[in-house]
Amino acid sequence: MTQVFYPGQRGVDYLAKLNELHAVASAQIGPMGPQGPAGMPLVILGILGSQSILPLPAAPGDAYMVAGELWTCNGTSWSNLGRIQGPEGPRGFQGVQGEQGIQGLKGDKGEVGDVNPLMITYANSAESAAISALESEVAANNSKLSAAGSADIALESLDQTAANLAAATQKAADSAASAAASASSASTAAAQATEAATQAGHSATSAAAAQASANAAHGSEVNAAISASNAADASRLTVGTVTTLVPGSSASTTISGPAGQQVLNISIPRGDKGETGDTGATGNSIASIVRTTGNGAVGTTDTYTITFTSGATTTFTVSHGSGSGDMTKAVYDADDDGVVDHAASTPWSGVTGKPSVFTPDTHSHGDATTGASGFMSATDKAKLDGVASGATNYTHPANHSPSIITQDANNRFVTDAEKAAWSAKGDVTLAGAQTLTNKKISAYHYIDKTVINPTATGVVQLDLSAASVFELTLTGNVSLSIQNAPALSGETISFIVRISQGATAYSVTMFNTIVWLTINGAAPAAPAANKTIEYVFTSTTSGTYFGRKGAAT
């Protein structure tokens, strides 16, 4: 490629920029990789004071806040994801460049001059303009890649930029070759310079278009940055209140507020109450007070020593006056135990040198029993609470005086005389129309009684004094007869004979003097096998019965 040497630092900067563009154009980008696996769910369980108390094992996706940072678990270990609110973003892009000013008037054509070794610089101005345009295009494509965030757009933009760079390089080489050929002729060089100037004008137009494209891409990038900032604001989450719950409650989290202003509120249960501490040391009390010096003589001073249960001791003195009063030992120590009687009952406030605090002894009391005093048990307390105020130990008597019982129409006492009078009432058998006075009526005359014979065979007696319904299950041929028929005079008697057959049907011979109430006056047939027939009989005259067939299966 043709290199253009500018005097001073400008040439060095130009070469560095050109090499940078070539490096961009020749960069190789591999194909897009496959989509990664789905991420773990995130469940914020609460706030902990230190990462050292993060629980294990834990479910994948479980999370805790520790010192403002979010820790997540993959099932076996914990990772710090940092603070929920991200750091401050980078400074925004520079604003879009203003519109290009109006192009000035074209000057008069100059005279052809001598060939100048630096003429190649002007001949290669097209290359410089093209490279500037490519620089703008590369920046536009880079902005486009950042704004879109798409790998496909980035690859397409990079390929296009490389193609444009290669074309510009080739065009620059052609222009350089043309400029070298023009060096043999000043007039040819001038013509080439004029053409180069024209190309430079076109290149400047291209550069302006590229700049406009770059400005548009930059605007898209700014908008994308603003959208990204808005998205970051929308996902921003700040920690709100932290509430302590009662022990045993479940930890919970809530997120409230609109997007960009969401607040994380956390509720954590208080820990369990600690275990009861060890029993304190045994308390210190007075074990004894003993006179250690002196004899209580008048005009002398005695020393008394107080010994505590801890082994510590203290002393106090008692001075005996020298007067002739009656305060003798016989008075102040009447029991001659070496302890002043009044000192033995000295109030606690009068004792000096005593400890300010005594640790109580460890002891316990059993529950009270019927034979020993003690504490009330929980069972006895519950029983006592269940007794009404003012209640007494009442025992219900085994017997009550009749005078305390209230009688009514449905509940009356019966005297022995009344009971004897009722029992003396005689039985009566109705025979014709009778007037009953102070008589009992036998129930079997008025209530249906049933005689059941499950194995009827042979001669079967129908005792009308014993029942009015006879149920017979035949196990053989039977012959029916009437027994104890009542004497009738204006009365009516009725009875039922219900005959059932088993798997074998047997014959039935009815008793005599039956008038059958059938169409032809003939007796109905006996029931077939596994069937039942009811025969109903009535009589108003002794010895004659009207018969009819009743219900049947």
**Reported confidence tier of residue 534, pLDDT bands at 50, 70, 90:** very high
Tens of pLDDT, residue by residue over 430-445, are 544 455 555 444 444 4
Look over the chain and give the mean of its residue pLDDT values, rounded to a whole number.
74
| pLDDT at residue 313 in the model | 92
> Nearest to residue 312, comparing CAs of 334, 338, 284, 340?
284
The pLDDT value given to residue 36:
76
Strands 469-483 and 508-509: parallel
| Average pLDDT for 480-498 | 88
- Write down the pLDDT at residue 347: 77
Q: What values do phi and psi take at 20, rounded to 5?
A: -65, -40
Q: Lowest mean pLDDT of 110-114, 352-356, 475-479, name the range.
A: 110-114
Q: Which of 64-68, 141-145, 268-272 has the lowest mean pLDDT?
A: 141-145
pLDDT value of residue 252: 86
Residue 267 — pLDDT band, cuts 50, 70, 90?
confident
Distance spanning both ends of the chain, measured CA to CA: 127
The answer for residues whose C-beta is within 8 angstroms of residue 286's C-beta and 6 or more apart is 306, 307, 308, 309, 351, 354
How confident is residue 78, by pLDDT bands cut at 50, 70 and 90? very high
Q: How many CB atoms lie within 10 A of CB 8?
A: 7
Q: Which of 152-156, 237-241, 530-534 has the lowest mean pLDDT?
A: 152-156
Alpha carbons 439 and 416: distance in angstroms, whole number = 19
Residue 317 has pLDDT above 50, yes or no: yes
pLDDT beyond 80 at 40: no
Say whether pLDDT at 305 is over 70.
yes
**Unique residue bearing structure tokens 């520790």:** 66
Q: Is residue 275 helix, strand or coil?
A: coil
What's the pTM value of the predicted model, to 2 decimals?
Answer: 0.25
Residue range 92-104, pLDDT digits in tens: 777 777 777 777 7
Mean pLDDT of 347-352: 79
Does residue 87 have a pLDDT over 70? no
More confident residue, 32 or 156: 32
Mean pLDDT in residue range 224-241: 63
Say which residues have a Cβ less than 8 Å from residue 188's Cβ, sequence separation at least 6: 181, 182
Residue 472's pLDDT is 94
Among 23-27, 87-91, 254-258, the minimum mean pLDDT is found in 23-27
- State the average pLDDT over residues 517-543: 90
Task: For the sheet with 252-256, list strands across it.
Answer: 237-245, 262-269, 252-256
Nearest 10 degrees: Cα torsion 420, 421, 426, 430: -140
Write the CA distances from 387 to 111, 367, 376, 392, integer angstroms: 134, 20, 15, 9
Q: What is the pLDDT of residue 458?
A: 95
61-90 average pLDDT score: 84
| Mean pLDDT along residues 5-26 | 54
Nearest partner of 494 among 464, 447, 538, 450, judged by Cα: 538
DSSP-assigned letters across all residues of 303-364: EEEEEETTS-EEEEEEEPP-S--S--HHHHTTT-SSS-HHHHT--GGG--S--S--PPPP--
Residues of the chain with pLDDT > 70: what percent? 65
Largest CA distance in the chain: 179
User: Using one digit for the tens of pLDDT, what is the confidence trace for 19-36?
Assistant: 665 565 555 556 777 887
What's the mean pLDDT in 383-392? 86
* pLDDT score, position 293: 92
Question: How many degrees, rounded to 5, is the angle at CA 202 between CA 199 and CA 204?
Answer: 110
Using alpha carbons only, give the angle 409, 410, 412 rounded to the nearest 5 degrees. Answer: 80
Lowest mean pLDDT among 62-76, 188-202, 272-286, 339-353: 188-202
Between 208 and 538, residue with greater pLDDT? 538
Tokens of 276: 């009861």
State how far the Cα of 301 lies from the Cα of 133, in Å rounded to an integer: 122
φ, ψ at 293 (rounded to 5°): -140, 155
Cα–Cα distances (Å) from 449 to 442, 459, 468, in that order, read 12, 21, 5
User: pLDDT category, 284, cuts 50, 70, 90?
Assistant: confident
pLDDT of residue 527: 94
Q: Which residues contact 465 (CB under 8 A, 6 or more apart)?
A: 444, 483, 484, 486
